Amino acid sequence: MYHVFSVDDHIIEPADVWSSRVPAKYREAAPHVVEADGREWWVYEGTRQVTMGLNAVAGKPREEWGMEPARFADMIPGCYDPTQRAKDLRADGIFASVNFPTLPGFGGRKFVTFEDKDLALACVQAWNDFILDEWCAAAPELFVPMTIAPLWDVELAAKEVERTLAKGAKALCFVEDPSQLGMPGWHTEAWDPLLAVCQEADLPICMHVGSAGSSTLLGDQIPIVEIASSFSQTARYSLNLMCSPAPRTFPDIKFVWSEGGIGWLPAALERADAQWEKHGYWSHLEGATPSEVAKRNMWFCMIEEPWGLTTREVYGYDRILFETDYPHADTTWPRTQAICKSLFADVPRHEVDAITHSNAERLFHFPLTVPIGNGAGA
Amino acid sequence: MYHVFSVDDHIIEPADVWSSRVPAKYREAAPHVVEADGREWWVYEGTRQVTMGLNAVAGKPREEWGMEPARFADMIPGCYDPTQRAKDLRADGIFASVNFPTLPGFGGRKFVTFEDKDLALACVQAWNDFILDEWCAAAPELFVPMTIAPLWDVELAAKEVERTLAKGAKALCFVEDPSQLGMPGWHTEAWDPLLAVCQEADLPICMHVGSAGSSTLLGDQIPIVEIASSFSQTARYSLNLMCSPAPRTFPDIKFVWSEGGIGWLPAALERADAQWEKHGYWSHLEGATPSEVAKRNMWFCMIEEPWGLTTREVYGYDRILFETDYPHADTTWPRTQAICKSLFADVPRHEVDAITHSNAERLFHFPLTVPIGNGAGA
């Protein structure tokens, strides 16, 4: 049996995440679910947004997939119920799971757009308290507590990370490139106070593909193009960070590129190092090369990438983390064991263990707890 | 000696390309060079634009590179003089060369923005006549005639391709995704009349990275990030075309992804095929898979990519074309022979011949002419 540590799953937030937590005066303005026009909607600050279709397809036959919004009643309970989720995961050999937000955006960017920034902060804190006190508390040996930050204010962000660290947070969920959201980017010193807190606490920063917004659906492209080419965004954003001052100022900082894939990485590192050498002089670039930063400060993630896996010797199997992506369309669930068996057939056992769990155990400071009878020690 | 067919070099247009060709009434509005504020400028339709820095560095030491605009006098003559260019190329073992425009944009998109579309058409035709009658005529056995099209009108574009075909054109220079320029994209039937002409004439369509504009310099990223991650754009745009109706309606059409690299390709094809299968039903996708389209309708290009070259068995060495990128910063010139020797050290000779010239000879219907004394038959 494969003991899987999934560094990338997704929560479909239950309807009361915010309404049960924000101060009474914010109850109408904070996200809450209403029924209207024959659908369920998230409503906040006078805006409404449908619940998600393709993001909650686990357990559905492919013939029923689509971009149409789903109701909670259309999803399997594991989408929004942590106890059911834990049961689903364990039954598939998944014994640790890092969970990304849905309504707040994969990196929590939604609240940056809120007009009332006190409300926005209350919403960030409500999501974090939901994760720490409710979701992870339902199965603390399985759910890895990852929290979001008030992205619009670096001092507030550092403070919120400190608050959640004290409550047991093991990772920070962030956006791939804050400059895409109109904030200072990685080539400034603006984020240094936050990065200092993360480095000091050895807190990995997880950046999910799409967290800075999507640029691939410009023009007339269709959804499959965005899905198939999503790795191109991770390539771009990770190269941006590899070439930025951030990992040079904070040499022990840890970045995780969630759902970005691995197979493109050797070509990217080859090209980046060559350009670093070529343009270094006039661009005033110094210090570690891009590939050195990648191998020191970054982790890359894989769902089901048989060819990609053959490239691991270029950057090292210790850089690869495994994802089950529950309940998205790419999820391995409920066939994770069969997929691992096929994917890792030709990979030495110590590398399989590293990729499926021990790299993540070390990175997140979260040792796997495998229930007796679940093949512990196998 | 390596006999090199370079499918990607660049012309720095001489100052009189347009002014010597457009009707007299357009002479002030068409692009022409003026000296002002201590610089040389291209001026057209009341707009002015500096000449290019990083795009004309061949022959300069790296310490002198930069984004600063160059004057013609700052460049080596091979940038803008076809006789000198041919001499430079031959001396480096390059016996065929496909050349992209500079001022019109890599895919000719500049003229889409012209207010006066009669002027715009005159400018497109002037560039094409310059290429056919002047640039290529200076060394017709070396320069492969590639022309641009009036992108704003598909009927005009088809007509201009027919006009230039009659004058000997061997390739069409196009933009990676017309929808990025506000025109219909590859998921429409809008381009069918043009694609029909190209398929009928077996005319390859070359799309240079950056031809649809750049999305990588959003936010605060620095130039090296755009340069290092440029392949991510080719990945996205080629996947878009692989998933579009175009190559399914025109199964013999030929697309070349210029300066997009090769090393990312296996990961992209693996992911695209998996998503094609996964989302095919609800997305109503049919016909050849993305990887089948890539291996049937597309060619990918390489400058100096040792690791990328090791991935060729996944898609086939018959898909790879070689580029010398004169006079850009990535050029192999004047060290093309030494670079080939190192790059191809472990590659069987028949594959080296295919990559360095014979794939391109077949694709462009342009057999190499190697002057006596230049290692012919070696």
pLDDT digits (tens, 9 = 90+) for B123-138: 999 999 999 999 999 9
Confidence of residue A378 (pLDDT cuts 50, 70, 90): very low
Q: Are B282 and A63 an interchain contact pair (Cβ–Cβ within 8 Å)?
A: yes
Up-side HSE of residue B174: CA atoms within 13 Å toward CB? 28
Q: Are B264 and A268 an interchain contact pair (Cβ–Cβ within 8 Å)?
A: yes
Residues 6 or more apart whose CB falls under 8 angstroms from that of A282 comprise B62, B63, B65, B66
The two beta strands, A171-174 and B39-44, are unpaired
* pLDDT tens track for B52-72: 666 777 888 888 777 666 788
Mutant choice from B187, B220, B259, B284 vs A, greatest count of A C-beta within 10 A: B220
CATH of domain B4-11+79-364: 3.20.20.140
d(CA A133, nearest CA chain B) in Å: 36
Please, are residues B223 and B197 in contact by the beta-carbon 8 Å criterion? Answer: no
Average pLDDT of span A333-360: 98
Average pLDDT of span A87-98: 98
Q: Is the dihedral of CA A145, A146, A150, A154 positive or negative?
A: positive
Is omega for the bond preceding A251 within 30 degrees of 0, making it cis?
A: no
Chain A CB contacts of B224 under 8 Å are: 243, 275-276, 279, 283, 285
Q: Are B218 and A180 an interchain contact pair (Cβ–Cβ within 8 Å)?
A: yes
CATH H-level superfamily of A4-13+77-364: Metal-dependent hydrolases (3.20.20.140)
Alpha-carbon separation of residue B44 from B29, B49, B280 (angstroms): 5, 9, 47
Confidence of residue B213 (pLDDT cuts 50, 70, 90): confident
Up-side HSE of residue A307: CA atoms within 13 Å toward CB? 22
Q: Are B329 and A278 an interchain contact pair (Cβ–Cβ within 8 Å)?
A: yes
- Residue scoring higher pLDDT (A352 or A373): A352
Chain B CB contacts of A229 under 8 Å are: 235-236, 239-240, 268, 272
pLDDT confidence of residue A282: 80
Residues 6 or more apart whose CB falls under 8 angstroms from that of B175 comprise B105, B107, B108, B109, B151, B181, B207, B211, B212
A219 closest CB neighbour out of B180, B229, B267: B180
pLDDT confidence of residue B61: 83
Chain B CB contacts of A330 under 8 Å are: 278
Which tokens sit at B116?
A: 């006066």
pLDDT at A60 over 90: no
Chain B CB contacts of A236 under 8 Å are: 216, 225, 229, 232
Q: Are B282 and A306 an interchain contact pair (Cβ–Cβ within 8 Å)?
A: no
Is omega for the bond preceding A327 within 30 degrees of 0, making it cis?
A: yes
pLDDT confidence of residue B29: 97
**Average per-residue pLDDT in chain A?**
93
Confidence of residue B215 (pLDDT cuts 50, 70, 90): low
pLDDT at B283 over 50: yes
pLDDT at A142 over 80: yes
Residues 6 or more apart whose CB falls under 8 angstroms from that of B202 comprise B252, B254, B365
Instruction: Express as a percent the part of chain B with pLDDT over 90.
Output: 80
Average pLDDT of span A86-104: 97
d(CA B42, nearest CA chain A) in Å: 25
- Residue scoring higher pLDDT (A284 or A355): A355
pLDDT at A374 over 70: no
pLDDT confidence of residue B54: 64
pLDDT at B44 over 60: yes
Report the 10 Å Cβ neighbour count for A221. 23
* pLDDT tens track for B181-204: 989 999 999 999 999 999 999 999
For residue B266, which of B220, B320, B217, B219 has the smallest C-alpha distance? B320
The two beta strands, A47-50 and A39-44, are antiparallel
Q: Are B235 and A240 an interchain contact pair (Cβ–Cβ within 8 Å)?
A: no
Which residues, listed in sequence order, are joined to residue A6 by a DSSP beta bridge? A97, A322
Using DSSP, state whether B275 is helix, strand or coil.
Answer: helix
pLDDT confidence of residue A376: 44
Nearest CA in chain A to B54: A279
B243 closest CB neighbour out of A65, A222, A263: A222
* pLDDT tens track for A1-50: 999 999 999 999 999 999 999 999 999 999 999 988 888 899 999 899 88
pLDDT confidence of residue B223: 84
- The span from the CA of B33 to the CA of B50, in Å, is 10
* pLDDT tens track for A155-198: 999 999 999 999 999 999 999 999 989 899 999 999 999 999 99
For residue B226, which of A206, A208, A187 has the smallest C-alpha distance? A187
Q: Are B221 and A272 an interchain contact pair (Cβ–Cβ within 8 Å)?
A: no
Confidence of residue B73 (pLDDT cuts 50, 70, 90): confident
Using DSSP, state whether B291 is helix, strand or coil.
Answer: helix
Q: Are B222 and A187 an interchain contact pair (Cβ–Cβ within 8 Å)?
A: yes
Token pair 């199965």 in the structure block, residue: A139
* pLDDT tens track for B319-366: 999 999 999 989 999 999 999 999 999 999 999 999 999 999 999 999
Confidence of residue A68 (pLDDT cuts 50, 70, 90): low
Mutant choice from A243, A271, A307 vs B, greatest count of B C-beta within 10 A: A271
* pLDDT tens track for A253-264: 999 999 999 999
Nearest CA in chain A to B181: A219
Nearest CA in chain B to A265: B264
B187 closest CB neighbour out of A218, A222, A314: A222
Give Cα A203 to chain centroid, integer Å: 14
pLDDT confidence of residue B52: 64
What does the domain layout of chain A look like in residue ranges? 4-13+77-364
Using DSSP, state whether B201 is helix, strand or coil.
Answer: helix
d(CA B214, nearest CA chain A) in Å: 11
Chain B CB contacts of A228 under 8 Å are: 239, 243, 268, 271-272, 275-276, 290
Chain A CB contacts of B267 under 8 Å are: 231, 261-264, 305, 307-308, 311
Token pair 């999503």 in the structure block, residue: A230
Which tokens sit at A184?
A: 């200072």
A240 closest CB neighbour out of B221, B240, B290: B221
pLDDT at A217 over 60: no
pLDDT confidence of residue A313: 97
> What letter does residue A306 receive in the DSSP assignment?
H
A231 closest CB neighbour out of B185, B221, B267: B267
* pLDDT tens track for B219-262: 666 788 989 999 999 999 999 999 999 999 999 999 999 999 99
For residue A244, which of B146, B221, B190 has the smallest C-alpha distance? B221
> What letter does residue A105 receive in the DSSP assignment?
-
B278 closest CB neighbour out of A188, A282, A329: A329
Q: Is the dihedral of CA B109, B143, B162, B185 positive or negative?
A: negative
* pLDDT tens track for A301-344: 999 999 999 999 999 999 999 999 999 989 999 999 999 999 99
A264 closest CB neighbour out of B187, B267, B290: B267
Mutant choice from B226, B257, B279 vs A, greatest count of A C-beta within 10 A: B279
A220 closest CB neighbour out of B179, B279, B304: B179
Q: Are A179 and B219 an interchain contact pair (Cβ–Cβ within 8 Å)?
A: yes
Chain B CB contacts of A185 under 8 Å are: 219-221
pLDDT confidence of residue A52: 64
Which tokens sit at B323?
A: 């580029």
Q: Are A314 and B307 an interchain contact pair (Cβ–Cβ within 8 Å)?
A: yes
d(CA B41, nearest CA chain A) in Å: 23
Q: pTM of this prediction?
A: 0.95
Report the 10 Å Cβ neighbour count for B225. 27
